[in-house]
Structure formats: structure tokens, C-alpha cells
Amino acid sequence: MEEIKRIDRRPVHKGSILTMYEDSIQMPDGQVAKWDFLAHKGAAAVVAVRDDGKLLMVRQYRNAIDRVSLEIPAGSKNDPEEPGIDAAFRELEEETGYTTKKEWMKPLIKLVTAIAFCNETIDIFVADRLLPSHQHLDEGEYLDVESYELSELVEMIYSGQIQDSKTVAAIMAYKDYRN
């Protein structure tokens, strides 16, 4: 592939979790293209497995799609350098009211969520041997915790009821991991 090179990055907007930039990209033919870029500090998520084998899921409203979504527990890192396991451990307890020991959390998969325009990565872990704790949601966060059999979640993916990319990837990776 011929060389493509970013020659400028200009901030356009800074939000609470994203910063939007306009990038100037030198194309192989000499033209300069303008590309949007969203910077994100990264995130972590957990496939949380109860002792009975059911997976904990969270149901919450998502503004981008203007509807409720069923997802694995997840959240942003506090800063880009925070280890994914630390964020996953925190989010498990915050969102579900369960915890585990960090040594019982196993890496499952790492994703880049929207590779064409955003650098967000999500480190996804499997957690089992869950221990009841206390849910403590972030301000403005409202969600319901539910549990499902793996087979139910796979069917919900294929029927289009679950469309969140991190959840789809995590559930399908966990299906292989378990086998």
C-alpha cells in the first residue's frame, strides 16, 4: 500500500468521554483529505458468570440509538494508562453488585470498537466465582441487572435483540472459550 500520512490534527470539540478532532491526511496522490477522529481513553468489560452458569447482563438506555440495550457490564477507564483489569474489576461491582478476586478474572478478547474513526479499545475479561457485594452506579447511570443462559444470549444475538458490538464479540468469544 502506498504511504498515507497524517499531517495535522486539530481539536474540534471536547466532551465528557470523547474528544473530536479534524485530521488532515496526505494521500498518495498528493491530495489532502479531511478525516474525523474521536479520541477515547479506553474501556473494559466483563463476561460475569454466576455459579449456576448464567451470565450477568445489564439493560440500559443508550442515547446514540435512542433505545434500551442489553449488554455485558462495561465502562470507561479512568485514564488511558489504567490497566484494563482494574477498570473491569471496578465496573463489575459498580454495575452488577457482584465482585470477585482479580486473580479469578481472565482476559478474553480485546476490541477496537469503531476502527474507522475512533481509537476506543475495550479489554474484555471473564469473571467467575462471583461474590455478592454492593451496586454503586455512577451519577446519571440507570440500569437493570439480569441473568441469562449462554444459549439464550447467542439466540438473542442471531435474532438481532443484542446488537452491541462488544457484547456480541464477548458472548461469541466466551462460547468458544467455554468449549
Q: What is the pLDDT of residues 69-92, one digit of tens each?
A: 999 999 999 999 999 999 999 999
118, 38 Cβ separation under 8 angstroms: yes
**pTM, whole model, 2 decimals?**
0.92
Residue 122, Cβ neighbours under 10 Å: how many?
A: 26
Tell me whether residue 161 is in a domain: yes
Range of the domain at 100: 43-105+123-178
Q: How far apart are CA 63 and CA 68, in angstroms?
A: 9
Q: Are residues 31 and 74 in the same domain?
A: no
Closest CA relative to residue 101, chosen from 87, 88, 89, 84: 89
> Pairing between strand 43-49 and 74-76?
antiparallel
Lookup: cell for 37: 477522529
In a domain, 147, yes or no: yes
- One domain for residues 80 and 152: yes
16 plus 100 within the same structural domain = no
User: What are the residue numbers of the active site?
Assistant: 139
Number of domains in the chain: 2
Q: Are residues 67 and 130 in the same domain?
A: yes
Residue type at 151 in one-letter notation? S
pLDDT at 49: 98
Long-range Cβ contact pairs of 169-173 (< 8 A, separation 24 or more): 169/109, 169/111, 169/124, 170/45, 170/47, 170/72, 170/108, 170/109, 170/124, 171/47, 171/55, 171/72, 173/108, 173/109, 173/124
Q: Does one domain contain both 56 and 85? A: yes
Q: What is the CATH number of the domain that holds 129?
A: 3.90.79.10
Does a structural domain hold residue 114? no
Do 75 and 161 belong to one domain? yes
Summarize pLDDT for 16-74 with one digit per residue, the tens.
889 999 999 999 999 999 999 999 999 999 999 999 999 999 999 999 999 999 999 99
| 32 lies in the same domain as 52 | no
Q: Is 86 part of any domain? A: yes
160: left (phi over 0), alpha (psi -120 to 50) or beta: left
Identify whether 118 is part of a domain.
Answer: no
